[in-house]
Amino acid sequence: MCFSLCSSAHHSINCIVPPHMLRVLALRGDEKTAQMARSLLKQTEKLRDDRAGQVTPPLPIRTGALGGPALDDAGEICCPDRRIHDGEYKAALPGKLVRSEGDPPSGIEDADLAYDGAGQVFSLFAEEYGRNSLDGSGMPLIASVHHRRNYNNAFWDGSQMAYGTGDGKLFRSFLELSVIGHEMAHGVIQHSGGLIYENQAGALNESIADVFGSLTLQRGLGQQVHEADWLIGRGILGPDINGVALRSMKAPGTAYSDDLLGQDPQPWHMDGFVSTGEDNGGVHINSGIPNHAFYLFCNYIGGKSWELPGRVWYRALERLNNPMASFAEWARQTMDAATELAGLGSSETAMLRRAWKLVGIGI
């Protein structure tokens, strides 16, 4: 199997497969697997300083309002500009353009899945939060499928998406809607001022991406809060892996338990916070705590998660203006957003406060 990383000198790379999985593979995998996993981890470590400092200044003007469609300068409803490429199992990006905006299906299944998924992410941000594409200014949605051969990852590199096909053993696909939404949401975070990719700020970066990944999926399926499974990457694990997804927002720490991949290490409460020098301070592990707070908030108020809860998280991100935010600072920011959107003393703000308290963060 092939583990490799496409690096960039100018942009952070946000991969869906977390380093703690690769570390377990380096210890438990066969010789070839372990060697490739160690190589990937070594490359990832070299990118740490560059990745941790990547932020993009937020746009000073929003294109629309929460709950209303994004509008262009002429007052017309914004439309996506999707450009899907076939990487033809090579490392170079973006590859061969196979489907542009408005084209009929390409006949390449992965390319058409990427096209449809990108459209659903665009629709979430444009129609629910008034944002015109990932940067708020109509940037093209560029993606490459069939990136490298048997590539066990998907990533946002600062300007485009790239999807491997998986090796069919550890991973079978990365074109699952919550994964697409998660990775593209890193672009939204990047263009909203960013969150330093270390420690609690880095875990928030991962958590916010999980939130919008889950919202993309729930909205696409038309699910109410209680109908959703709250899984990130359901169905992408290989057929012999004992697990259902990469992460669970409903029950962090339960997404998988496998002899090869190990046990899902995510905590749901600050009592289980993992202090580590690995994975930029455990950004893919400790994200389970704010993930669970969002899940609790949604379930306390019910309805559609992408409506008020999603608007609270989006408004908090818009106004964060602190790339080194802690969990407590983010919680206070969401409370400010909830107060603005639902009203001071509302039941919704009370439920949000309760959600944060139940994961060990008092505000």
Distance, in Å, from the CA atom of 340 to the CA atom of 61, rounded to the nearest integer, reads 19
Which residue is associated with the tokens 């106004």? 319
Distance, in Å, from the CA atom of 248 to the CA atom of 240, rounded to the nearest integer, reads 19
Query: Does the annotation count 183 as an active-site position?
Result: yes
Distance, in Å, from the CA atom of 216 to the CA atom of 203, rounded to the nearest integer, reads 20
Catalytic option among 85, 146, 182, 284:
284
DSSP state of 172: S
Query: Does the annotation count 182 as an active-site position?
Result: no
Cross-strand bridge partners of residue 263: 257
List the one residue out of 103, 108, 93 whose CA is nearest residue 144: 93
Catalytic option among 127, 128, 176, 183:
183
From edge to edge, which strands make up the β-sheet containing 82-86?
Answer: 14-15, 154-156, 161-163, 141-145, 82-86, 96-100
- Determine the Cα angle at 32 with ends 27 and 36, to 5°: 75
Residues labelled catalytic: 183, 284
